[in-house]
Chains A and B, each alone.
Chain A
Amino acid sequence: MRRWTTLLLVLSLSGCFTVRHSYEGDHLLTSTPEVEGYKVRHVRHFEGHDRQFFWIHGGFPVGEDLNGAEQAAREIGDHDAVVNLQLTDGQNVTDAFITHIPCILSLLCGTWSVWVEGDVVDLEEAR
């Protein structure tokens, strides 16, 4: 009985620790160093990290959702694009500690992280 109760509880929380990387704007983000049809002018390199807190095995997110693509797009500013984009999500040592010790093996709560890295560039039409 206990097992079924737990299963139902956990299934009701499926979708937990969800991370969605997406971007709806007018700029362009790619993992490659070049953009087809354009010359790339390097502006600067960036690296970033974001962390989100979730209640009850990741079922109830708190604050702004993790989104590596949106985070990278915010770095573009007045420029055109991001190339060499690297997106990673998962748990580092701090997330693992929070999730497994004070949050009691994620039953009470937990945290998840996103890391982004890339180069902001301007695009010029190739001739």
Chain B
Amino acid sequence: MKARTLLAALVCASLTTGCLFTARHELPANAVFGKFPEHSAAGERPFEDSGMKNWALAGFVPWTGWGSQRMLEEHDPGSGLRIENLAIETRFGTWDTIIWVFPGFFYGYYLWAPRTVEVSGSVVHGQANGR
């Protein structure tokens, strides 16, 4: 009975606040979707990275602060280089699913619900106006 009451309270809290699993994607200064007009494929170096972002209470409370921006900053290509053709994906992956199924059957999700964030792109030489 207590578990059912707790579950109902969590669902109500989620519905009241209406912001679950919210991931905001901000790009660092040298990273873009698409490509610069003077894009050149010469020396292009693709990269990809992924990480697990954690929420408590069915996505109601984020408890790891990092998002896609931090992951991209870790791939900072340095001076004179840019990240182009970005792609950012969020999903419930296999490990996310295992984590919230095992601890408490289906309702483990209401205690700890991770979601995977994956970023990919290409590091390219950035020369303003192609010159």
Contact = CB atoms under 8 A, between A and B. Distances in A.
Asked if A and B are interacting partners, one says yes
Interface of A: 3, 6-7, 10-11, 13-32, 35-38, 58, 68-69, 72-73, 80, 85-97, 100-101, 105, 107, 123, 125-126
A90 B20 contact: yes
For the complex of A and B, the 10 pairs showing the least CB-CB separation, nearest first, are A93-B18, A37-B128, A90-B22, A22-B87, A18-B91, A31-B27, A29-B33, A91-B20, A87-B25, A23-B33
Instruction: Classify chain B: how many residues form its interface, as a range.
Output: 35 or more
Contacts of A94: 18
A88 B23 contact: yes
Given A36-B30, A91-B18, 17 more contacts: A6-B105, A7-B98, A20-B88, A21-B88, A26-B34, A28-B34, A28-B35, A30-B31, A37-B128, A69-B33, A69-B34, A73-B33, A87-B25, A88-B24, A90-B22, A92-B19, A100-B14
Interface string B101-128: 1100110000000000000000000111
A72 B7 CA distance: 37
Given A58-B92, A100-B11, A105-B106, A28 B86 contact: no
A31 B129 CA distance: 20
A37 B127 CA distance: 8
Nearest to A29: B33
